[in-house]
Amino acid sequence: MTQASTETMTTRQWLLSNAPQSRRQARLGALYQGWLTFRSNHLAMVGLIILVLLVLTAIFAPWLSPQSPVAQNLAGRLQPPSAENWLGTDALGRDILSRLIWGSRITLFIVGTVALISPLIGLLVGTVAGFTGGWVDQVLMRITDIFLAFPKLILALAFVAALGAGIGNAVLALALTGWPPYARLARAETLTIRNADYIAAARLQGAGPLRLLIGHIWPLCISSLIVRVALDMAGIILSAAGLGFLGLGAQPPLPEWGAMISDGRTYILDFWWVAAMPGLAIFIVSLAFNLLGDGLRDVLDPKAAKQ
């Protein structure tokens, strides 16, 4: 056995040790074991690979895009897929592949922003309600119920109609309508742990409510929220595409996938590729997020995965 193989085996044994000698070793070992569990889920790995490719496509869009996403060529409008235009052209002669590549940036911006804002709002509302209890819990949960009483997309449409069309307002509307499920989940987690022995011990040591929330309760709620966020990514993409389809999201000439489908719906019978290509992109990315969410659930919530 070579020296490199011995070092690799030693590192693996150190990470998988049942008796870690330091907090750092315990944390790195838990991360490594989680990665091994995730890697054993082949479908989750497929989803991860697709999303990594999506991120790389968004980063290197200026170099990967064969043409400008907004350059019009009326002489070459509605051309089928060919060697010159791999995915065809739209009604204004714009290269669909180039627009899909640049549209990946908009998709990641919307998904990333909503996935950052909504869970934070839900985590704050849910943990405060569950930890405080009493009338605070009642008020916050009734507000949450009001938001949950309306379909998310309908409520987002109402917000965008009030705020005005645009990608920024669409992101804000999706974030403001997406937090109630996270609040419910965080509240349920908080109710199960707020009377735990280590919470009582920390309170006896002088920890205040804010320290208990941030230092002891939030870390235990985050894993469940991460799984829920990963599984909700597909819904966020579809909601953003729905707003774009209705003309309330990204405005022309931005290459947003939902708006591209809207532009191609008139020609779908004769020039199917105009709407089918962005629709296929939305389907693949949504599927990838669902597969990734299933893999994260196996890692972060193994009890639920076994059920």
Query: 267-293, pLDDT tens digit by residue?
Result: 888 899 999 999 999 999 999 999 998
Amino acid 118: pLDDT: 92
Residue 224 lies in a domain: yes
Q: Tokens standing for 52?
A: 């990594």
Residue 273 lies in a domain: yes
Whether 2 shows a pLDDT value over 50: the answer reads no
Amino acid 16: pLDDT: 74
Please tell me which residue, 210 or 90, carries the higher pLDDT value: 90
Number of domains in the chain: 1
Residue 183 lies in a domain: yes
Biggest alpha carbon–alpha carbon distance for the chain:
77
Amino acid 301: pLDDT: 66
Token pair 């992101």 is found at: 171
Q: CA angle 76-82-84, nearest 5°? A: 65
Amino acid 5: pLDDT: 43
Mean pLDDT of 56-82: 90
Whether 222 shows a pLDDT value over 90: the answer reads no
Residue 37 lies in a domain: no
Identify the CATH number of the domain in which residue 80 sits: 1.10.3720.10
Whether 294 shows a pLDDT value over 70: the answer reads yes
Structural domain of 265 = 60-291
Q: Tell me which residue of 198, 195, 200, 190 sits closest to 220, measured CA to CA.
A: 190
Amino acid 279: pLDDT: 93
Residue 168 lies in a domain: yes
Q: Using H for helix, E for strand and C for coil, what is the string for the chain?
A: CCHHHHHHHHHHHHHCCCCCCCHHHHHHHHHHHHHHHHHCCHHHHHHHHHHHHHHHHHHCHHHHCCCCCCCCCHHHCCCCCCCCCCCCECCCCCEHHHHHHHHHHHHHHHHHHHHHHHHHHHHHHHHHHHHHCHHHHHHHHHHHHHHHCCCHHHHHHHHHHHHCCCHHHHHHHHHHHHCHHHHHHHHHHHHHHCCCHHHHHHHHCCCCHHHHHHHHHHHHHHHHHHHHHHHHHHHHHHHHHHHHHCCCCCCCCCCCHHHHHHHHHHHCCCCCHHHHHHHHHHHHHHHHHHHHHHHHHHHHCHHHHHC
Q: Tokens standing for 26?
A: 């315990």
Question: Could you tell me what percent of the chain has a pLDDT over 70?
Answer: 95
Residue 41 lies in a domain: no
Token pair 């309330």 is found at: 248
Whether 305 shows a pLDDT value over 70: the answer reads no
Residues 240-274: pLDDT tens digits?
888 888 888 888 888 889 989 988 888 888 899 99
Residue 113 lies in a domain: yes
303 pLDDT band, cuts 50/70/90, is low
Residue 122 lies in a domain: yes
Amino acid 285: pLDDT: 93
Mean pLDDT of 8-12: 65
Task: Please say whether the beta carbons of 88 and 73 come within 8 A.
Answer: no
Task: Please say whether the beta carbons of 210 and 218 come within 8 A.
Answer: no
152 pLDDT band, cuts 50/70/90, is confident
Residues 86-138: pLDDT tens digits?
998 998 889 999 999 999 999 899 888 998 999 999 999 999 998 888 898 89
